[in-house]
Amino acid sequence: MLSSLADSVLDFLASMINMIAVHHAMKPPDDEHRFGHGKIEALAALFQSIVIIISAGFVLKEAITRMFVPQPLQNISVGVTATVVAIILTLFLVAYQRYVISKTKSLAILADSTHYKGDILLNIGVLLSIGLYKLFQWTFIDVIFGAGLALYIMFMTYKIIRSAFNVLLDSELSDQDRDSILSIVTKNPKVKACHHLRTRTSGHEEFIQGHIVFEANLNIEDAQKIVNVIEKDLSALYPKAEFLFKAETSKTLKDCRHALTPLKKRIVFYTLKRLLHQWHLGFNPILLTIYLVHWLINTVDNAVRPLIPEHITIAYGYFPGYGLLTTVIVVTIFGAFVRGF
């Protein structure tokens, strides 16, 4: 009876922590947390795991103490009634949690549900303990179930800690998930390969990104259409996921020419350092192929990167309003500016 009471108190505390964590984890991304707040659930699961381990150790200590100083069970009829009611209510709770998990994939709720499923079995064990005491006057039977409960809590806590660390350390999705993702990405005949596939989970969301290799003569607009179809197909399996795929050409870029004259370090440091951390070039989505886009960006990138001590990120997209002519003018003016210094 002592073990059942202690476990009920732990369940209440864990549920309160989970409720607060889930509430904050469901908040949309903001300016300071662009990837959302999903990891709050993992932090809450890790925190409550520490509390549960300490409490389970206390229950185990009490069980060992009562092994040497046995005490008879009291108020058996009240205990039986309370246990039966607890089993019925827990069954409804687990059923509802299962529904919520199917919708949100919440780590905190999954941990709670696993714990409550164990509680159902443990409460059944309490009924057996009371029945055996009633028949045979075995005063040590509650001690056995108390020690078993403590060890069970520790085992379940280990699983919660492992899942929480997987989220906090950005562990990959399962091999089965990765195989499914690669199968969807590469089923289009114009996709030559997919590499640098990286996945992770944060709360109820998955983040999936990778590099998709297309035919070298495929223009940007067609490549983007294929990427959109791929993301739509993946969304059917991962409705809460965010995708980030980079289109690459099948031709190597190692032989790209560097047409721009390097800037002097002093000029870059004082005049262009802040401007070149991230910038965009406008491309015509129909006239330019992926290979040519990579060549243009690689040309500018290689001319400037060695002169700036910080990493340069050059993001490119297509803007039909600018057109190919504007792009050529921009690159030409930039090249003239470089040569001028």
Question: Is residue 237 situated within a structural domain?
Answer: yes
Does 277 have pLDDT greater than 50?
Answer: no
Based on the domain organization, do 154 and 8 belong to the same domain? yes
Note the pLDDT tens digit of each residue in 198-252. Answer: 998 887 788 999 988 887 778 878 888 899 999 999 999 888 888 988 888 765 4
Alpha helices in 204-273 (DSSP H): 220-237, 265-267
Is 322 a member of any domain? yes
| Percentage, residues of the chain above pLDDT 70 | 67
- Give the pLDDT score at 234: 93
Q: 66 and 147, same structural domain?
A: yes
Residues 158 and 183 in one domain: no
Listed as own residue / partner, the contacts of 251-254 with beta carbons closer than 8 Å and 24 or more positions apart are 251/216, 251/291, 253/294, 253/295, 253/298
Give the per-residue pLDDT at 308: 54
144 and 287 part of one domain: no
User: Are residues 56 and 115 both part of a single domain?
Assistant: yes
Give the model's pLDDT for residue 235: 92
Residues 113 and 240 in one domain: no
Instruction: Report the sign of the C-alpha dihedral through residues 118, 120, 121, 127, in that order.
Output: positive
Same domain, 155 and 217: no
**Distance between terminal CA atoms of the chain?**
84
Helix 39-68 vs helix 2-25: crossing angle, to nearest 10: 170
Quick one: which of 229, 230, 225 has its CA closest to 210?
A: 230
pTM for this model (two decimals): 0.57
Q: Is residue 256 part of a domain?
A: no
- Listed residues 138, 168, 198: the one ending a domain: 168
Beta-bridge partner residues of 210: 245
Asked if residue 294 is part of any domain, the answer here is yes
Q: Note whether residue 259 is domain-resident.
A: no
Name the percent of the chain in helix, strand, coil, to the closest 5. 65, 10, 25
20/22 Cα distance (integer angstroms): 6
Give the separation between CA 302 and CA 341, rounded to whole angstroms: 17
Instruction: Kindly report the backbone phi and psi dihedral angles of residue 138, in degrees, each rounded to the nearest multiple of 5, phi listed first.
Output: -85, 105
276 near 308, Cβ under 8 Å?
yes
Are 163 and 201 within one domain? no
Q: Kindly state the DSSP code that residue 269 receives in the 8-state scheme.
A: I
Residue 111: inside a domain = yes
**Same domain for 117 and 66:** yes
Within a domain: 257: no
Do 7 and 130 share a structural domain? yes
Two tokens, residue 300: 């500018």
Average pLDDT over residues 179-206: 87
* Residue 301, pLDDT score: 67
- State whether 150 and 281 are in the same domain: no
Q: What is the pLDDT of residue 278?
A: 46
End residue of a domain, out of 249, 279, 309:
249
Task: Indicate which CATH number applies to the domain containing 234.
Answer: 3.30.70.1350
- Our count of domains for the chain comes to 3
- Host domain of residue 194: 175-249
**In this structure, is the dihedral angle defined by the CA atoms of residues 174, 164, 63 and 65, taken in order, positive or negative?**
positive
Structure tokens at 152: 């069970």
Spatial contact of 133 and 139, defined as CB atoms under 8 Å apart: yes
What letter represents residue 304's amino acid? V
- 10 with 25, same domain: the answer is yes
Q: Which of 168, 197, 216 is the last residue of a domain?
A: 168
> Do you know the residue count of the chain?
341
Which CATH number does the domain housing residue 107 bear?
1.20.1510.10
Q: Is the dihedral of CA 61, 64, 66, 69 positive or negative?
A: negative
- Look up residue 18 and give its two tokens: 């989970």
Q: Which amino acid, one-letter code, is at 50?
A: I
